[in-house]
Chain A
Amino acid sequence: KQEVTQIPAALSVPEGENLVLNCSFTDSAIYNLQWFRQDPGKGLTSLLLIQSSQREQTSGRLNASLDKSSGRSTLYIAASQPGDSATYLCAGRYNFNKFYFGSGTKLNVKP
């Protein structure tokens, strides 16, 4: 059974700090991994998509990596800002049509 785990469940950091969010998956036969941001009561905003053949993707202050052999992905946020406060979710695609989400890491960036 495919499982996706995110640790920690919550994280609080001062503004300006660089931080890393972790995502672990149990099955290395992953097709791709996608990171999302979710604001309270809202839908999901896609941040980065990493294909199984890729090692990392970058967008602005965000960098996501994928290591299939260890079953891990990380989302690196540089120079964090209060506007980055949200819940961050990772999701792995394992076959044609199923997507497995972690429970998310709730990030609070303090001014």
Chain B
Amino acid sequence: DAGVTQSPTHLIKTRGQQVTLRCSPISGHKSVSWYQQVLGQGPQFIFQYYEKEERGRGNFPDRFSARQFPNYSSELNVNALLLGDSALYLCASRLLPGQGYEQYFGPGTRLTVT
């Protein structure tokens, strides 16, 4: 079975632009989470979605938004990009959102803002 997939792999944007990142969870997984990983640091939680509803949000500004589709895939949108948004964006899926379920991560999308 395919793991978590993300697209695109790399992306270069200019300050002020908008970007959309995509994630497809492992088949059968219904919960998707997004993380931002700045170079040299651990990932930071942005959002969790389950059954198309937002179930959790980290400390990120409203420029960040996401949604989940009926097939459980997800998109992360970032508006008005800043240089500090440059990071590796990771998507993770779980079978269900409960505490006992292991997270599986995709390869990430490397976003560079110039």
- Write the residues of chain A forming the contact surface with B, with a CB cutoff of 8 angstroms: 4, 6, 31-32, 34, 36, 41-46, 49, 51, 89, 91, 93, 96-104
Contact of B55 with A97 in the complex, beta carbons under 8 Å: yes
Contact of A97 with B56 in the complex, beta carbons under 8 Å: yes
Q: A44-B43, A89-B42, A91-B42 are in contact. Are A97 and B97 (CB under 8 A)?
A: yes
21 contacts between A and B (CB under 8 A): A6-B42, A31-B99, A32-B99, A34-B103, A36-B105, A43-B105, A46-B104, A49-B102, A96-B98, A97-B55, A97-B56, A98-B45, A98-B56, A99-B33, A99-B45, A99-B103, A101-B35, A101-B42, A101-B44, A102-B42, A104-B41
Contact of A103 with B107 in the complex, beta carbons under 8 Å: no
A-B pairs with beta carbons under 8 A, tally: 64
**Count of residues in B whose CB is under 8 Å from the partner chain:** 28
B78-109 interface bits toward A, Cβ cutoff 8 Å, 1 = contact, 0 = none = 00000000001010100001111011111110
